[in-house]
Amino acid sequence: TGGGTVAAVDLGATSGRVMLAHVSARELAVTEAARFPNTPVRTIDGLHWDVLGLYARTLAGLAEAVRAGDVASAGIDSWAVDYALLRGTRMLGVPFHYRDERTARGVAAVHAVVPPAELFAVNGLQHLPFNTVFQLVVDRLDGVLDAADRFLLVPDLLTYWLTGTAAAERTNASTTGLLDARTGEWSTGLARRLGIPGRVLQPLVDPGADAGPLLPHVAAQLGEGAARLRVTTVGSHDTASAVVAVPATDADVAYISCGTWGLVGVELEHPELSDAGRAAGFTNERGVDGRVRYLHNVMGLWLLSESVRTWEADGGEVDLPGLVRAAGQVADPVPIIDVDDPGFLPPGDMPARITGWCRAHGVEPPATRAAVVRTILASLADAFARTVHRAAELTGRRVRTIHLVGGGARNAVLCRLTAASSGLPVLAGPVEATAMGNALVQARALGFVSGDLEALRALVVATHPPQEFRP
């Protein structure tokens, strides 16, 4: 076929973008139609996402995309776990940010009924205090869940606002903690035990499913070219889309999807529910085409972006690329911190917390901004390397190459340090893997390309060869 053009909407924790992708059997050309910041808002009751702002900017970005090309379809992905409650068409309150502290109450309430090991045996997930199930139980305790007849994860919410079709896309649903890792269906038994009414669980749909045409008022807002536009369900968990576009040529690879988080692991055909894996903090998330993303959440570039935010609040511009280059030249040894320490999770003064961590562990804290950045990058690389080797051990997979995709692939110091720490070659890029995976799944659904994930990945390798960092 001649191929065609789709729009990939990718909402990250720090920024969102609408990308235009022209896809055919030989081509994967991605250009940016719009990019906008995602700025959380703290109100009296906690930390929230500005979902209306994100929706408005998504609409503006789609309008831009429609003006620029003959767009056949749009697909939406975002960070996982967060959601809106709805009653009928009406959103009940402003969605919370997963970094809001309220989740602790939910964890205690859930574990009192279903102990951690039992929870893992059902959902196969790494314990993260913000998994949707914990948040929903807080809503139940606060009396808010009673009023809701459904919850929609962020990409499902935007798809609903665009099309009027309400569903739960399966890759993202797998991050809620309410999906059975073995069957890929909602665990209604678990929901019942936790007092989460079955009615709030929406019908599950798979990536590639048609979500329908735009609602008339949306099409009118997007202008002439939008008449033909449909929404296609993609791997709506951003990490699921990113893994689709890992430019792997064989199975002996691990991936690191590195943005706000560093998602480090391997792809499996079936969930791996061993106790050793649970103890090591591994998760079984659903991927596109029923694959399993067996991975561990490493804290990621959040440590860096939150440090920059702290320095900027102190006054003045921060030249991040310059700081990263300077970090690359720091010759004195820097401390290696435990990036997964839960103390680093909430927003706030990150350099102070890094200093505090070092003092508490009897090591000399980094003294300059460049040394702080070096500490962060070297510590991330150390965690990435340990996690890759652990994933290999736990699954019996022989890992000969590490693919690093996402924004982190732009950071040459991080890629170099990851190669050095792991003793393995790091193949970096594409930076826009998530948007590419999103676009490829749409393009396949529309018949612009065909084949399994390996075929889609071969197209990424051919069009966007990664950059190699040798150990």
**Is 10 marked active-site?**
no
b/e sequence 167-206, b meaning 16+ C-beta within 10 Å: bbbbbbbbbbbbbbbeebebbeebbeebebeeebbbebbb
Task: Tell me the β-bridge partners of 130.
Answer: none
Based on CB atoms, which residue is closest to ligand LRH, 284 or 297?
297
98 is a site residue for ligand LRH (CB under 6 A): yes
* Span interacting with ligand LRH, options 29-37, 190-198, 233-241, 437-445, rule CB under 6 A: 233-241
261 is a site residue for ligand LRH (CB under 6 A): yes
239 is a site residue for ligand LRH (CB under 6 A): yes
The number of beta carbons lying within 10 Å of the beta carbon of residue 216 is 9
In 150-261, beta strands by DSSP E: 150-153, 168-169, 204-205, 210-213, 230-232, 253-258
Nearest partner of 409 among 197, 256, 201, judged by Cα: 256
Based on CB atoms, which residue is closest to ligand LRH, 262 or 466?
262
Please report which helix (H) or strand (E) contains residue 450, including its range.
Answer: none
Based on CB atoms, which residue is closest to ligand LRH, 128 or 358?
128
Q: Nearest approach, Cβ of 168 to ligand LRH (angstroms)?
A: 16
Tell me the residue length of the chain: 471
174 is a site residue for ligand LRH (CB under 6 A): no
CA 251 to chain centre: 22
Number of residues that bind ligand LRH (CB under 6 A): 13
| Separation CA 241–CA 53 (nearest Å) | 23
Q: Nearest approach, Cβ of 84 to ligand LRH (angstroms)?
A: 16
Residues 4-43 that bind ligand LRH (CB under 6 A): 13
3-state SS record for 59-124: HHHHHHHHHHCCEEEEEEEECCCCEEEEECCEECCCCECCCCCCHHHHHHHHHHHCCHHHHHHHHC
Based on CB atoms, which residue is closest to ligand LRH, 342 or 447?
342
Q: Which of 123, 241, 260, 422 forms a contact with ligand LRH (CB under 6 A)?
A: 260
* Span interacting with ligand LRH, options 78-86, 151-159, 269-277, 358-366, rule CB under 6 A: 78-86
Q: Nearest approach, Cβ of 406 to ligand LRH (angstroms)?
A: 9
Q: Nearest approach, Cβ of 261 to ligand LRH (angstroms)?
A: 4
* Span interacting with ligand LRH, options 58-66, 212-220, 225-233, 255-263, rule CB under 6 A: 255-263
* Span interacting with ligand LRH, options 101-109, 185-193, 208-216, 260-268, rule CB under 6 A: 260-268
**Cβ atoms of 92 and 26 closer than 8 Å:** no
Task: Tell me the β-bridge partners of 17.
Answer: 10, 35
Q: At what angle do helices 302-313 and 350-360 cross, to 10 degrees?
A: 120
Task: Tell me the β-bridge partners of 428.
Answer: 404, 467
Q: Nearest approach, Cβ of 237 to ligand LRH (angstroms)?
A: 6
* Span interacting with ligand LRH, options 137-145, 254-262, 351-359, 422-430, rule CB under 6 A: 254-262
81 is a site residue for ligand LRH (CB under 6 A): yes
Based on CB atoms, which residue is closest to ligand LRH, 135 or 163?
135
SS3 of 154, please?
helix
Q: Which of 28, 59, 80, 253 forms a contact with ligand LRH (CB under 6 A)?
A: 80
Q: Which of 22, 49, 79, 421 forms a contact with ligand LRH (CB under 6 A)?
A: 79
Q: Nearest approach, Cβ of 238 to ligand LRH (angstroms)?
A: 5
Structure tokens at 71: 């767009």
Nearest partner of 401 among 246, 278, 284, judged by Cα: 246
440 is a site residue for ligand LRH (CB under 6 A): no
Cβ neighbourhood burial of 279 (10 Å; 0-12, 13-18, 19+): exposed
Based on CB atoms, which residue is closest to ligand LRH, 125 or 218?
125
263 is a site residue for ligand LRH (CB under 6 A): yes
* Span interacting with ligand LRH, options 65-73, 74-82, 114-122, 204-212, rule CB under 6 A: 74-82
Q: Which of 5, 297, 395, 421 forms a contact with ligand LRH (CB under 6 A)?
A: 297
Structure tokens at 157: 């919410």
Among residues 77, 238, 341, 452, the one annotated as catalytic is: 238
**Cβ atoms of 157 and 94 closer than 8 Å:** no
Q: Nearest approach, Cβ of 365 to ligand LRH (angstroms)?
A: 28
| Separation CA 263–CA 251 (nearest Å) | 18
Active site (catalytic) residues? 238
In the complex, the residues that contact ligand LRH under the rule CB under 6 A are 13, 79-81, 98, 237-239, 259-261, 263, 297
